[in-house]
């Protein structure tokens, strides 16, 4: 049993950590509150090759293993979870194109996506369908060598920069079950009728835009049907979501680590009744509980990443996402408690951690829905818990 990263992973983590401490930590609070777009941070991501983390080397990417992939999101979220979103859905979409795209699609898009010259996201959710993706209403009707797409998407991360945006559509709205009639189209941003209509105001996750998109008679070449075969859209999307759950679990660990760091440091500085508050047993118990949960979450996230390396790991990634996001939220609340009144102030970091942590239980499948997925796979016997089982 080896709980250590290998040498390459350790070196990579050190590079990421130095970048986050220098380029993200000092600006996160001000830029988040002012709503300024983190252009310089994006430039740093490009310089480090981070837009290519899920793209094969043959197309110019870094082709990271799942553990290194998790390190990227843990470290960045420790600095500012919102900017981790810039790489999050981009990496998932790139992985989906690399795994399922035709050779022509891969050659056309992946090299520029790997450098960040092009960026992307993933367009699944609609105003009336989030968890229930089979209930989407966006349709793509074949017309010669084009599809005509009509519908709308909402909550789309990176929408203002995505080009192309992979969009989940119904190519056969009458199919039963519905997923057999669903496909992914790679829609170029300049296509007439494709419009990013609104930035959704939100509690946290600032630094990355979340938008509504309207699609009105958008003519998409048949060549942009992902993989060139209709009816595979749900499978293509679900295969990317497995990495997505590792991504969210790792971001959650980053938030929990920052919450713990801030709480520990504050407990040493702040004095009450003539001594640092960290000398009070009540505060010590709080810190010990935070550290214990944080360490458990980290083990769970990297165990799930390791399982992905070994093959299909829906249950492990689902369990890690649920657990780590719960820990992130609780840690951010505990860190605010340790800060007393200052924890409620926007002049400190911890209130942002709280606002950002809440999203971790919603994205990539809500925790309640993932619990039902985990429960089903346990009761079917597809997944087993315990040594050697």
Ligand X SMILES: Cc1cc2nc3c(=O)[nH]c(=O)nc-3n(C[C@H](O)[C@H](O)[C@H](O)COP(=O)(O)OP(=O)(O)OC[C@H]3O[C@@H](n4cnc5c(N)ncnc54)[C@H](O)[C@@H]3O)c2cc1C
Angstrom distance (rounded) from CA 124 to CA 118: 20
In the DSSP assignment, the letter for residue 23 is I
- Closer to ligand X at the Cβ: 79 or 123? 123
Write down the least CB distance from residue 92 to ligand X, Å: 9
Q: Which residues, in sequence order, are CB contacts of 358 under 8 Å at separation 6+?
A: 203, 204, 329
Nearest CA among 206, 116, 121, 114 for reference residue 157: 121
- Binding residues for ligand X, per CB under 6 A? 89, 121-125, 130-132, 155-157, 202, 205, 210, 359, 362-363, 366, 368-369, 372
Structure tokens at 184: 């992914």
The angle, 0 to 180 degrees and rounded to 10, between the axes of the packed helices 66-100 and 103-115 is 140
Residues involved in catalysis: 364
Percent helix, percent strand, percent coil in the chain, to nearest 5: 60, 15, 25
| Residue of closest CB approach to ligand X | 130
Write down the least CB distance from residue 368 to ligand X, Å: 4
CB atoms within 10 A of CB 43: 12
- Closer to ligand X at the Cβ: 229 or 369? 369
- Closer to ligand X at the Cβ: 131 or 197? 131
Tell me phi and psi for residue 11, to 5 degrees: -65, -40
- Strand pairing partners for 148? 141, 219
- Closer to ligand X at the Cβ: 334 or 356? 356
Write down the least CB distance from residue 96 to ligand X, Å: 12
- Closer to ligand X at the Cβ: 35 or 144? 35
Cis peptide before 164 (omega within 30 of 0): yes
Structure tokens at 383: 């997944």
């Amino acid at each position: 049993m080896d709980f250590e990263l290998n040498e390459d992973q350790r070196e990579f983590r050190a590079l990421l950590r130095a970048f986050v401490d220098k380029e993200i930590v000092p600006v996160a609070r001000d830029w988040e509150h002012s709503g300024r777009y983190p252009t310089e941070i994006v430039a740093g991501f490009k310089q480090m090759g981070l837009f290519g983390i899920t793209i094969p080397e043959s197309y110019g990417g870094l082709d990271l293993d799942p553990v290194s992939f998790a390190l990227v999101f843990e470290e960045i979220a420790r600095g500012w979870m919102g900017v981790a979103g810039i790489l999050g859905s981009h990496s998932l979409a790139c992985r989906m194109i690399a795994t399922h795209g035709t050779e022509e699609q891969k050659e056309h898009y992946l090299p520029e996506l790997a450098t960040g010259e092009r960026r992307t996201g993933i367009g699944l959710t609609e105003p009336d369908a989030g968890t229930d993706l089979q209930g989407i209403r966006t349709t793509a009707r074949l017309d010669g060598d084009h599809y005509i797409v009509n519908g709308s998407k909402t909550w789309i991360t990176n929408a203002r920069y995505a080009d192309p945006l992979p969009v989940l559509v119904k190519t056969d709205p009458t199919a039963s079950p519905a997923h057999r009639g669903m496909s992914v189209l790679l829609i170029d941003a300049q296509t007439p009728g494709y419009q990013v209509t609104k930035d959704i105001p939100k509690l946290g996750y600032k630094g990355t835009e979340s938008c509504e998109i309207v699609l009105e008679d958008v003519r998409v070449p048949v060549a942009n049907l992902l993989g060139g075969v209709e009816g595979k859209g749900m499978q293509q999307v679900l295969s990317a979501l497995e990495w997505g759950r590792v991504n969210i679990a790792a971001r959650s660990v980053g938030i929990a680590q920052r919450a713990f760091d801030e709480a520990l440091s504050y407990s040493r500085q702040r004095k009450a009744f003539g001594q640092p508050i960290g000398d009070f047993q009540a505060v010590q118990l709080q810190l010990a509980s935070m550290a214990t949960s944080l360490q458990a979450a980290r083990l769970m996230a990297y165990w799930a990443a390791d399982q992905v390396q070994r093959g299909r790991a829906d249950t492990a990634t689902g369990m890690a996402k649920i657990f780590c996001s719960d820990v992130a939220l609780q840690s951010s609340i505990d860190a605010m408690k340790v800060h007393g009144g200052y924890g409620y102030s926007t002049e400190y970091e911890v209130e942002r951690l709280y606002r950002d942590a809440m999203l971790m239980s919603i994205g990539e499948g809500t925790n309640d829905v993932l619990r039902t997925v985990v429960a089903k796979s346990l009761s079917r016997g597809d997944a087993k818990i315990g040594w050697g089982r």
